[in-house]
Structure 1
Amino acid sequence: MARSMRAALSVLMLVGFYVLALGIIVGLGILSVLMFLNTSGTAGAAKLGFLTIAVAVAVVVALWKVAKAKPEPEPGLPLSPEQAPELWHLVRGLAAVAQTRAPDEILLVPDVNAAVSEDTSMLGLIGGRRRLYLGIPLLQAMNLAQLRSVLAHELGHYSGRHTQLGAVAYRGQTAILATVGQLSGNIVGWLLKQYAKLYLLVAAAVNRTQELEADELSVQVAGRAVAQHTLRELPVISMAWNFYEGRYIAPGWEAGYAPTPADFFGGFGGLLHARTGELDELRKEPPPDEQSRWDSHPSIAARVYAMDRMTDVAVPVDTRPATSLIPRFDRAAEAVAAKAVDFGNRTQLPWDQFTAVAVLVQEQRQADLVYRAAARLTGSGEAGLATVFGLVQAGRIGELSAEFFPEATRREAAKLFADPMELLLRVAAVRSNVAYWRHSWTGRPEFVRTDGQPLNLQPIAAEAVAPESLDRAAAHLAALGIDVAAAVQVDKVATAHGGDIVGGLANMSVNGKPHDVLILDNGLIMRPCPKSTDNGKDRLLEWARSAPVPELAAKSWFVPFEEVASAKIVKVSPIRVDLTLRDGSVVAVHEAWTGDRLHKTSADVLHEAVKPFLPENAGVR
């Protein structure tokens, strides 16, 4: 009965949205006619008539979009019963326990996730093709007992008939959001937006209830302890995967390189094996308890607590790896990477080569910061390690260092420059084929000579920052085979590589024209935007998620902080900043009272970002 009530509620709320929209259209139409009949209100009637037409068109357009909308199956690798007989036997056996029809397809996908779907018709009354999705990283990190718990939970969605309304829910959400999007900027859009919020809140509450219902089958099949442990394991696996992507893949990925399909998931397996101690420490943390009323899932803590009240069963714990259910799992994982991961035109390399190239690209970009600063000081178009050595010999290393350590005295800055100098020497060593960065799953890559022995250039760097010991440093480098002339500038212009988005401001006035602005820790990305201030935060979020940071900057106007000569705070609230660039041009970035923000502190983030460029004792209004 409860399930039927939820189904009826979903359908009724969707119908109610369009009843409300139709009521508004009819009401506006009647009011327009009455105003036309009253000759004194002709102008107002015309405006109201146009609004009525706009609302009607928006509803029709949204319905047309919805008519074509349907959930698309996730890209993945289908596994037939012949390819993975043990996995299919397990899934079919659990479906029998759940008293539900087994899935028609099992697909391996590249996500840290497991899910089910069903193609239905007639508002979910007629069932259709069922699909079970299993994420490769999930299989790599779990044992068979944990996998049974996950599979039981997903099949519980089938037995609870949760997937029958999946298409209805998808179309309903698409319909409502499409209509609201068409009508943003007027009172009708605001009214329908409030209804949309209610619909999404109810849908989220229904989904959370369904998750708890599916957990009951998980406890029944795997036992309470295993089911709870599996839930606690999910955020650990997710954090491990995010760390793997961010630390190991992202640097080379941004530079145009990628692990081979065979290494893409194989690397995650290597990391899990090498960092068991760190993962065990993560497992000691209490389960996450954060939960919003908009969330489709209860918090892990809430689900674990709910399981305490479910009937426990004694089930033998099978600790074999979950991957053992799929013969030649490594080949299957490689096929999933080749099919579902968008490598683009990146150069694919095995891990040792991929890491060596990725770190070199990162260090070269940091070296280029120094070389561009050296080029500005010497008045040359470009620079290299020989240019920096020339500044040291001329006693000007403090001037160069001051760009990176502005608060230090000239003498302190020269000493502090030993760390950047070591970086320049490392790049020179790699460019001279004397050393490379060796891959490691247990820590950061190791800087080693070509014979595999560690290479420490710190003592030479300390000598190279002082005029009196520079010649000794040069002699040591020559003895190692490091060619100073091989270390030169690569990027002539600063890019957004390595930058992180730390804030955003919508509908800013940039040199008098409306722009959305993303604040990076190494610059500002700006692009023209509509004059309307509606949906500014949503627009910023969509933009920020649409591509990696370097691509966002390449497609828009990017002002690196490296190119800022000085800044002036024209006004604190709303934040208004004038940036004077090294070429003498001025970029006026002014926030409007009606602008929107990526997060509440975005204006403060911009203020902090430009502080280093403010003249001493500058007045702020």
Structure 2
Amino acid sequence: MKTTVRAAISVALLAGFYLLAIVIIGALGAITVWLYSVHTGVIASKFAYVTLAVAGGLLVAFWRILRAKPGEPEGLPLTPQEARGLWDTAHDLAHQVGTRAPDEIRLIPDVNAAVMEHTRLLGLVGGRRIMYVGMPLLQAFNVGQLRSVLAHELGHYSGSHTKLGALAHRGRMAIVQTIVQIGSSSFVGYIFRGYARLYVLVEQAVSRRMEYEADEFSVRVAGKAAAVSSMRDLPVVDAAWNFFVNRYVTIGWEAKLAPRDVFGGFGQLLQGRSGELAELRSSAPSAEKSRWDSHPPIADRIRAMEAMADSGVAPDERPAAVLLADPSRLAQQLQQQALNIGDKTLLPWDELTDAGIAAGAQRGVDALFRAAARLGGAPQGDLGLVLAVTEQGRTAELARAVEPHADPDDQRLALSGLISAAIAIAARTQGLGRWQHSWSAGAKFVRTDGTDMGVGEIGTLSLDPATVPQARARLAELGIDFAAVRQQSAKASADGADLLGGIANMTAPGKQYYDVLILNNGLILVPCPKSTDKGKQRLIMVLRSAPLEKLALRYRFVPYEDVRSAAILKKLPIKFSVTLHSGETIELAETWSGEALDTNDRDYIVGALEPFLAANEEPAR
């Protein structure tokens, strides 16, 4: 789609939005005047209020858009001395696609490349151009693939796509701000919401067309082989980066531990997992489509590329990192500037894996010990008490206590893992073993000489009363002292918990009211006023005020592991009660006029309480 057509669509839709607003305001005003002329009652006053609300909301939204200024660009700026190869490549590609080169190149910690332009007069006058290049791409791609990606991005400049991007963005901001000011639940709000859907649908369709146009530059300048290869590899590198962050980088995050060399680790992971990544590349690219997507499916883009004429450009197989003068130094600067390290202790990868897993395992072991203490009637649990409980034939009870929301097989597997973790922590405390880091597989617990200690086998032996004596004998052979692993927390916390939902203004006996946050491991009860106005907004404000683990300390936290039994007293609006192991009963009821974060939040409560319901009670779905 040509730029002039896109400009016409953007301007027409944005102008149409304000024309619609003026028409609605005029119609409401005319009705208000007519009503006052025939009947100066409540109805006329209500129409006058709606008219003023719509007009005021429109003015406030428009004023905020006019005052909005672009934020500071993200990423690490690269000088020509720091990235001569990258700057030369950008200028060469810009010349080939027939556009002006970027004024600034910035390094970002994402699997992405992008361009932007600070324009004026609705995109008619160009401005400063910035190109963003992801460090993970420079580590994973060769030069030919990176040239293909950058040619695509510079193609957006050549097609004047970036000039009008600001206009499209302002248009979306204007519509969203107007809906926020007016409200989306009123009749007028529904009209604006419908127009907003139309605007976004048209913008996304135009955006998809622009991606195809930019892909043509990619094939023409970098060659078909490099263009198709980079398109296939992008989702693979993205999956590898997400896996790396979730499984390696944040392994000790909650214990305030972080890697000393993040990007160096990603390079090692790419080598260690090369076989798995090759399998991902061989799988069919995604063909999922949605009219709300800003980019076409990768399968469609590859098909379009393969149908284009090949320019015959020879692939450049050199690692893309050669375009940087000192990749390691720039990676360290980017890590310090762009990643949220904060006050975390920086460790080399092998130490981080050992310490991070130990810290995470301790939380699970504490839950195991607390459950064993309840079943064994002891003030505090330990590894010896856990083995005593399983030897009594109470393995199923213990497994259900530590993993109530899983099926019996998974409960048993989880219990075995927690016992193994307790054994590993004891051995680590005594200096007998450690968790061994690996880029090609998951970490495993080994002796100090690197040989497998077999804690998993001992954990399995600990589940069966007949084999518990064998487990004790194996522990004695290894020299593991039961007292070396201790329960560190007397009560469950919300560390590492995930938010599932929230329901505002739930009532409790005694005319108490709570906004209830639903976590995957418990409920947070936040005292609130009786009024149900703005309940959802209040929930959002609470969530923004602090992390979940701190909210659980600030307000009352009811972990599921403290629940002995539960009952669903009413299905809609939901009313339930939980009885704790201490004997206390907590009863909460949703009000008809209350609000929730999402329509499925009641189901989350039911699902959380289902393991504790009486055997003859059917959960309310």
Number of matched pairs: 611
Amino acid across the alignment from 1:112: V
- Corresponding residue for residue 100 of structure 2: 101
Q: Does 1:434 find its partner at 2:432?
A: yes
More divergent stretch after superposition (6-15 vs 603-612): 603-612
Q: 1:197 to 1:341 in 2, by over 3 A?
A: same
Give secondary structure in 2 for the equivalent of 1:29.
helix
What is aligned with 1:174?
173
Contact 1:236 1:283 in 2 (8 A): yes
Cα 1:337–1:429 change in 2 (3 A) is same
Partner residue, 1:145: 144
Question: Structure 1: how far apart are the matches of 2:295 and 2:396?
Answer: 56
Structure 1 residue 292 corresponds to structure 2 residue 290: yes
Q: 1: distance between equivalents of 2:292 and 2:538?
A: 19
TM-superposed CA distance for 1:431, in Å, is 2.0
Structure 1, 468-477 or 310-319: larger mean CA deviation: 468-477
**1:244 is aligned with what amino acid?**
F
**C-alpha deviations, 1:24-51, integer Å up to 9, x for none?**
223222322222222x342112222222
Residue number in structure 2 paired with 1:192: 192
Aligned to 1:373: 371
Q: Is the 8 A contact 1:576 1:591 kept in 2?
A: no
Give the aligned residue type for 2:316.
D
| Helix, strand or coil at the partner of 1:133 | strand
**2:615 counterpart SS class:** coil
- The 5-angstrom pairing of residues 420-499 of structure 1 reads 420-458=418-456, 460-461=458-459, 477=475, 480-499=478-497
Deviates more, 1:218-227 or 1:382-391: 382-391
How far off is 1:156 after superposition? 0.2
Q: Is the 8 A contact 1:518 1:540 kept in 2?
A: no
Residue 378 of structure 1 and its aligned partner are, at CA, apart by 4.6
Task: Decide whether the 8 Å contact of 2:515 with 2:539 is kept in 1.
Answer: no
Aligned CA distance change for structure 1 residues 467 and 524 (closer, same or farther; 3 Å): same
| Alpha carbons of structure 1 residues 615 and 354: separation in structure 2 relative to 1, 3 Å | same
Tell me, in whole angstroms, the C-alpha distance in 1 between the residues paired with 2:129 and 2:63.
27
Write the distance in 2 (CA, Å) between the matches of 1:617 and 1:61.
56
Matches of 1:89 and 1:139 in 2, distance apart? 15
Q: Percent identity?
A: 43
Q: How does 1:549-564 map to 2 (within 5 A)?
A: 550=549, 558-564=557-563
Question: Within the alignment, does 1:163 sit opposite 2:162 as a pair?
Answer: yes
| Paired position in structure 1 for 2:228 | 228
Listed as ranges, the matches of 1:380-391 within 5 Å are 380-388=378-386, 391=389
Q: What does residue range 99-138 of structure 1 map to in structure 2 within 5 Å?
A: 99-138=98-137
TM-score, normalised via structure 1 length? 0.88
Distance 1:363 1:170, change over 3 A: same
* Counterpart mapping for 1:242-281 below 5 A: 242-260=242-260, 263-281=261-279
Provide the residue aligned with 1:183 in structure 2. 182
Query: Tell me, what secondary structure is at the counterpart of 1:403?
Result: helix
Would you say the 8 A contact 2:532–2:595 is kept in 1? Answer: no
* Compared CA separation, residues 351 and 63, structure 1 to 2 (3 A): same
TM-score, length of structure 2 as denominator length: 0.88
Q: What one-letter code is carried by the residue in structure 2 that aligns with 1:156?
A: G
Unaligned runs of 5+ in 2: none
Question: SS of 2:132's equivalent?
Answer: strand
The answer (yes or no) to whether the contact 1:574–1:593 under 8 Å persists in 2 is: no
**Shift of residue 177 of structure 1?**
0.6
Aligned to 1:362: 360
**1:462/1:217 Cα in 2 relative to 1: closer, same or farther (>3 Å)?**
closer
Q: Deviations over 1:315-369 (max 9, x none)?
A: 1011111111101101111111111111122222111111111110121111111
1:438-464 CA-partner distances (Å, limit 9, x unpaired): 111111112112233321235555666
| Post-superposition offset of 1:200 | 1.1
Contact 1:505 1:591 in 2 (8 A): no
Q: Which range moves more in the overlay, 388-397 or 329-338?
A: 388-397
Secondary structure of the residue aligned to 2:449 is coil
Match of 2:612 in 1: 613
Q: How far apart are residue 265 of structure 1 and its match?
A: 1.2
Q: CA deviation at 1:5?
A: 1.9
Q: Which of 321, 325, 335 is the equivalent residue of 2:333?
A: 335
CA deviation map 1:134-164 (0-9, x unaligned): 0011111111110010000000000000010
Deviation at 1:531, TM superposition (A): 3.8
Deviation at 1:21, TM superposition (A): 1.6
Q: CA deviation at 1:547?
A: 8.4
How many angstroms does 1:377 deviate by? 3.4
Whole-Å separation in 2 of the counterparts to 1:162 and 1:128: 13
Deviation per CA, 1:570-611, whole angstroms, max 9, x where unpaired? 3456655433333423243648699667576x6555444322
Relative distance call for 1:168 and 1:506 in structure 2 (3 A) is farther
SS in 1 for 2:199: helix
Q: CA deviation at 1:210?
A: 0.9
Instruction: Give secondary structure in 1 for the equivalent of 2:41.
Output: helix
Aligned to 2:45: 46
Partner amino acid for 1:347? T
Which amino acid in 2 is paired with 1:490? Q
Amino acid at match of 2:253: W
Q: Is the 8 A contact 2:504 2:539 kept in 1?
A: no
**1:398-446 Cα deviation digits (max 9, x unpaired):** 75455348899x9xx9999655433221111122222111111111112
346, 349, 353: which one aligns with 2:347: 349
Give, in angstroms, the shift of residue 477 of structure 1. 3.9
- Mapped to 1, the partners of 2:207 and 2:194 lie a distance apart of 20
What stretches of structure 1 of length at least 5 have no aligned partner?
none
Q: How far is the alpha carbon of 1:282 from its aligned partner? A: 0.6
Aligned equivalent of 2:12: 12
Letter in 2 for 1:131: I
Q: Secondary structure at the match of 2:435?
A: strand
Query: 1:241 matched to which residue of 2?
Result: 241
Structure-2 separation of matches of 1:397 and 1:226: 57
Report the Cα distance in structure 1 between the residues aligned to 2:413 and 2:186, rounded to whole angstroms.
61
Superposition deviation, residue 517 in structure 1: 4.5
CA 1:110–1:414: 2 relative to 1, 3 Å: closer
Aligned counterpart, 2:586: 586
CA separation of 1:532/1:283 partners in 2, compared to 1, >3 Å: closer, same or farther?
farther
